[in-house]
Every structure is written in C-alpha cells, then in structure tokens.
Amino acid sequence: MADRVAIVTGAGQGLGRSHALALAADGVAVVVNDVGDPTPVVEEIQAAGGEAIGNTDGVDTWEGGQAIVETAIKTWGRLDAVVNNAGILRDSSFQKMTPDQVAAVLAVHLGGSFHVTHAAWPHLKERGGSVVMTASGSGIYGNFGQANYGSAKMGLVGLTRVLSIEGKKAGIRVNAIAPLARTQMTEELLPEEILAKLDPSWVSPMVTWLVREDCPESGHIFSVAGGRYARIAIVEGPGATFDQVPTADDLAAAHDRIATIDGYTEPQNLTDQITLAAGPAS
C-alpha cells in the first residue's frame, strides 16, 4: 500500500511526464497514463526509486476513465489525486473548423476530465484528495484558431468550480492550472526566445503542491509560466442596478458603470451572484 497515489493523464511526454516525475520525487505512486507508450516514464520513475505503473486507456470514453482509475485501485488499493493533463490540438479558424475537430478536442479535454474524475470520485471521497484540471489561457483569455480548444478549456474552469463545492464536505480539493510550457503542442505556436523560458519543469511544482494534503487551495485557477505563479480570478464589477426594466438607451447611458471592474467583488458560488443581483437599486 502506497502512502499516496495519483493518476496523471497524458503523462508519456511533455507536461504530463514532468508532472509524473515531480510527483514521484515527492513520494507519490503514479499511474502514468498515455495512449502512446508510458513505459519510458514508468521506468524513469522506477530507476529513481519511485513507484509507477503504466496505463494506455483513452480518457475520451467513460470506459477508459474507469479503466484508468481501476489501475490505481488494483495496484495500490487507494487513490488520492487525479491530474487531468491529457490533451490534443485540432487548430483551425472558426469558419473552417469541422465537426470532427470540435468533437475530438471536447472529448479529450473536457470529456476526458469528466470521465477520469467521475470514476475517481467515490475513491477520493473515502479519505479526501485532490483533483487538478488543466485549463488554458486560450480559454480564459482567447486565442485565434482555437475555438474548440478554448471552449473545452474554459469548460474545465466551470467543472473546477462546481466540483470544489460538491467535494468540500468530503475533503476533496479541486483546482485548475493554466500553464504555458514548451511541449509538442506549443513548439510551433511560440517563438524560440519565449520557448526557451518555458520548460515544463517550471509548471510541475505547482501541481505537486496542489496535490499535497496540506495545500489549502480549492476552487481556484492558477496561471503558471516560466517561473511566475499567480491566481486568476473571475470577478464582477459594481455594475448598475435599476428598479425597473431598463431600455437599451438606459443601458447605453450607464455603460461606464456596467463596463468597469473598479471596486470588484469575487463571487465564490452562484449564491454569491444571486446576492449581488438582489442588491439595492442605484
């Protein structure tokens, strides 16, 4: 029985490999999941004295998610953390994007995180644990040619927020990272002078910390890139409140108050938003 067990999806290379190695170095037994060949990463962990097992099931189906989790349970009898990292790119301008490009990206990124986390949830509820989603600036801020990818990644922010609320009573913490790193997915997107500063090893310490039992964070998004670590917040400005249904002209006249985020608040859940909406007219 290992003291802590984690699943890292898409861990055969890039960020996932880096995460798996960092977690193993922190004493975590790791299921190294990758539809390619996870064996080199497993052997690298074992050669360094860590515990790891490979798994090649796809995250894009419910059955695949279940099989990945069962690998952890059958091997070590427990599961403490899930790092949803598996991903693909099918970039295209929105006008030229095909149904297959949309479906494939949603299935791996958003669907994959659903599938693996849903299968893991009953086991995490037994003793608490951690889930790390991999969001992206492409979803949070937008990026040309990535409507499918950005939609999936922003969907993971919503999943993070909901699961952090649902898992709180059971001691399950759920966070998201928005990493920027040099991987196969970014090699052709960024100039060399930027890529030189974006080794995946800069991202993995954040994942390792979020997985640790003493980490207090849940429901948050963290920007991680080249040595900079920062929380990303979803906030609401003070807005303009009306005591009767406004006209479009009323809204245009109140544009400055509606558009500003000066004096913002940060709702923690839907109830907080409802409370803001029920505030006094101004």
16-72 confidence digits (pLDDT tens): 999 999 999 999 999 999 999 999 999 999 999 999 999 999 999 999 999 999 999
Q: Which residue has the tokens 């000066």?
A: 262
- Full strand arrangement of the beta sheet holding 172-180: 52-55, 29-33, 5-8, 81-84, 129-134, 172-180, 221-225, 228-232
- Give the other-Cβ count within 10 Å of 10's Cβ: 28
With beta carbons less than 8 A apart as the criterion, state whether 31 and 4 touch: no
Long-range pairs of 162-169 with CB within 8 A, sequence gap ≥ 24: 163/117, 163/131, 164/218, 164/219, 165/219, 165/269, 167/121, 167/124, 167/125, 167/131, 167/218, 168/218
Question: Any idea where the domains of the chain sit in the sequence?
Answer: 5-232, 235-282
Q: Per CATH, is 5-232 categorized as 3.40.250.10?
A: no
Length of the chain: 282
Q: Is 141 a catalytic residue?
A: no
Express each pLDDT in 181-214 by its tens digit: 876 656 777 778 778 778 899 999 999 999 999 9
Model pLDDT for residues 245-260, shown as the tens digit of each residue: 999 999 999 999 999 9
Cα distance between residue 101 and residue 103, in whole Å: 6
**Euclidean distance between CA atoms 241 and 260, whole angstroms:** 14
d(CA 224, CA 234): 17
Asked if 84 and 116 touch (Cβ cutoff 8 Å), the reply is yes
The phi and psi torsions of 23 (rounded to 5 degrees) equal -65, -40
Q: What is the pTM of this model?
A: 0.92
Q: Supply the DSSP symbol for 169.
A: G
* pLDDT confidence of residue 279: 67
Phi, psi angle pair for 229, to nearest 5°: -130, 120
Q: Of residues 141, 149, 229, 264, which has the active-site annotation?
A: 149
Dist CA 224 CA 90 (whole Å): 23
181, 15 in Cβ contact below 8 A? yes
